[in-house]
Amino acid sequence: MSFSNVQAVVLAAGKSARFNTKKTKLCHIICGQELIAYPAKLLTKMHIPTICVVGHQKEDIIATLACHDIPNITYVEQKDAKGTGHALLCSLPSTSAEHILVMNGDVPLITQELLETLLEKHMHEEAAASFIISHSFSPSSSGYGRVVKHGESVEIVETKYNPDAFTESNFINAGIYVFKKSFLDQTLTELAPDPTSGEIFITDLIGAANAQGSRVCTITAPFDTIRGVNNLKDLWAVEHIKRSELITHWMNHGVRFIAAQNVYLDLNVTIENDTVIWPGCILTGNTHIGHGCSIGAYSCITDSTIHDGALIQPHSVIINSIVHQSAEVGPFAKLRSSSVGERAIIGNFVEMNRSSAGARTKAKHLTYMGDTCIGMQANIGAGTITCNFDGISKHKTVIKDRAMIGSNNALIAPITIGKNAVTGAGSVLTEDVPDNAFSVSRSPQSTRDNYSETLRHNTLAKTYPEKSEPQEQAA
């Protein structure tokens, strides 16, 4: 069905008072995407031009949506948050389509299928007003408007102000409606503010349609698809559902989650089959994980690509980096803006920052590589540090193919270690090492035979002169 005669209005001007945070709830994140982006992106996908009503923190909401690819969105301001009906009223002069789909901005789990069903039924039945309802027995859903039916009549009653409605009906209002534009033009300006709150309620349009004898339609949806987000507990519940959906999707594509309840996954993460995700992993941003990988427990991977067969050991942190095929990283490794070559090993307590390691290169223990480009099959000894920062600027280190850096080297950048070069353990290197050379820089060792007792005695005498006196007498 074509929705070319439909325009959408998303209500996003509320104060988010129940969140108790400085930031509007509409900019809080669910699985890596802001709450307000969920309805906005869904409507874009359905090619329905959208008006977003903004007010409280409008700059933040507009800036948030500008970061997403939403071509067909315009903004209308509701200067004072005088209720959902008032928000819709503010948008009315900007609407022109035959049918107006209105959505609360805080229902992120809603699906395209449900919106299509609502629009189709509304048009098919030529209703003046249609809306989504859901069954809920739970007293914890007392924040929702209740749908109260008496014979042919139907109205929505806000339980906040009329607690009796809660016992009268187990159907709640989802906050998603379709109205005929002609009905809104006639009726919306006539709505009186609620006497208790002083707000104009969009929900009063349903009772008004009924009173006029106009047709009102409903469709029923599962509660978990229409949950609203009014406080941080709702946000947690909704994110939990969203995450379960994402994990189920990847399970259906052959990804093994050892403890799915313990994994955090963003919307834009993609994972190929035969990969195992161990407990406690946090996979965020635009991360892609290839086929047959193992992502070790408590690893955090953000905006990175992990190619097929890579082994990420537990507690690794990988940010904006690439790990090539069959490479091994961790445990306790940290990669920032770096690349690890095919079959390379970046081991425990190794940090790479703006650096690359070529195929089969190994840095297995306790190393820092900053602004460093390492060739293929190089070996970086334990404890090696590239000293890239002189306090003012950063400098580059180049370690060429098959070079072998001895343990505990300090490479003072800028510096180049040539192909096949070898450096001695404990060296502090300030100059380039040519291809095939051996370079060592440390003070020579001196040894004095049978000197250890004398050394101990002299040290004791210096530190505790009073204790050393009697010893001399006794001798």
| Smaller CB separation from Ca ion, 106 or 272 | 106
Cα–Cα distance measured from residue 417 to residue 296, given in angstroms and rounded to the nearest whole number: 33
* Among the listed residues 32, 43, 106, 277, the single contact to ligand UD1 using CB under 6 A: 106
Joined together, the tokens standing for residue 39 give 């309805």
141: contact with Ca ion by CB under 5 A: no
Regarding 33 and contact with ligand UD1 (CB under 6 A), the answer is: no
Q: How far is the CB of 181 from ligand UD1 (least distance, A)?
A: 19
Buried b (16+ CB within 10 A) or exposed e, 393-425: eeebbbbbbbbbbbbbbebbbebbbbbbbbbbe
Sequence-distant (≥ 6) Cβ neighbours of residue 155 within 8 angstroms: 147, 148, 206, 207, 210
Residue 196 or 273: the one with the smaller Cβ distance to ligand UD1 is 196
The residue within the footprint of ligand UD1, chosen from 6, 8, 9, 12 (CB under 6 A), is 12
- 444, 448, 453, 456 alpha-carbon torsion, rounded to 10°: -30
CB nearer to Ca ion: give 85 or 228.
228
How many alpha carbons fall within 13 Å on the CB side of residue 412?
Answer: 8
Q: Can you tell me the distance from the alpha carbon of 141 to that of 243, in angstroms, rounded to the nearest whole number? A: 21
- Residue 144 partner contact from ligand UD1, Ca ion, none using kind-dependent CB cut-offs of 5 to 8 Å: ligand UD1
> Measured in whole angstroms, how far is the alpha carbon of residue 457 from the centre of its chain?
63
Least distance from ligand UD1 to the Cβ atom of residue 138, Å: 13
**Contact characters 46-75, ligand UD1, x per CB under 6 A:** -------x----------------------
Structural tokens at position 415? 């510096």
Q: Is residue 230 a contact residue for ligand UD1 (CB under 6 A)?
A: yes
Compare residues 230 and 270 and give the one whose CB is closer to ligand UD1: 230
Binding at 86: pick from Ca ion, ligand UD1, none (beta carbon under 5-8 Å per type) = ligand UD1
Counting Cα atoms < 13 Å in the Cβ hemisphere of 185 gives: 10
Q: Which does 375 bind (CB under 5 to 8 A by kind): ligand UD1, Ca ion, none?
A: none
Q: Does residue 145 touch ligand UD1 according to CB under 6 A? A: yes
Q: What residues are annotated to the active site?
A: 365
Three state DSSP letters for 144-166 = CEEEEEECCEEEEEECCCCCHHH
- Cβ nearer to ligand UD1, comparing 78 with 316: 78
Asked if residue 39 binds ligand UD1 (CB under 6 A), the reply is no
The three-state secondary structure class of 234 is helix
Give the CB-nearest residue to ligand UD1. 145
Q: Are 413 and 371 in contact (CB under 8 A)?
A: yes
Alpha helices in 261-340 (DSSP H): none
C-beta neighbour count of 56 within 10 angstroms: 18
State which H helix or E strand residue 65 sits in.
helix 58-66
| Site membership for ligand UD1, residue 156 (CB under 6 A) | yes
Rule CB under 5 A: say whether 106 interacts with Ca ion: yes
Q: Which residues contact 372 (CB under 8 A, 6 or more apart)?
A: 352, 355, 356, 386, 388, 396, 397, 398, 399, 413
Instruction: State yes or no: residue 202 binds ligand UD1 (CB under 6 A).
Output: yes
Residue type, 461: A
By CB under 5 A, residue 239 contacts Ca ion: no
Near ligand UD1 in 405-434, by CB under 6 A: none
Q: Which of 44, 64, 173, 313 binds ligand UD1 (CB under 6 A)?
A: 173
Task: Classify 139 as helix, strand or coil.
Answer: helix
Residue 203 vs 439, nearer CB to ligand UD1: 203
CB of 54 to ligand UD1, least distance (A): 8
Contacts of 156 (CB under 8 A, 6+ apart): 131, 145, 146, 147, 148, 173, 201, 203, 204, 206, 207
| Listed ranges 132-140, 198-206, 390-398, 419-427: which one lies at the site for ligand UD1 (CB under 6 A) | 198-206
Contact between 228 and Ca ion by CB under 5 A: the answer reads yes
Q: Which stretch binds Ca ion (CB under 5 A): 223-231, 270-278, 402-410, 442-450?
A: 223-231
Find the part of the chain contacting Ca ion (CB under 5 A) among 92-100, 222-230, 283-291, 447-455: 222-230
DSSP 177-207: EEEEHHHHHHHGGGPPPPTTT-PPPTTHHHH
Minimum distance between the CB of residue 57 and ligand UD1, rounded to whole angstroms?
Answer: 10
277 near ligand UD1, judged by CB under 6 A: no
Of 204 and 266, the one with the shorter C-beta distance to ligand UD1 is 204
Q: Confirm or reject binding of residue 83 to ligand UD1 (CB under 6 A).
A: yes
Peptide bond into 163 cis (omega under 30): no
Interhelix angle for 112-124 vs 37-45, to 10°?
Answer: 60
Return residues touching Ca ion (CB under 5 A). 106, 228, 230
Which residues form the interface with ligand UD1 (CB under 6 A)? 11-14, 53, 78, 81-84, 86-87, 104-107, 143-145, 156, 158, 172-175, 201-203, 228, 230
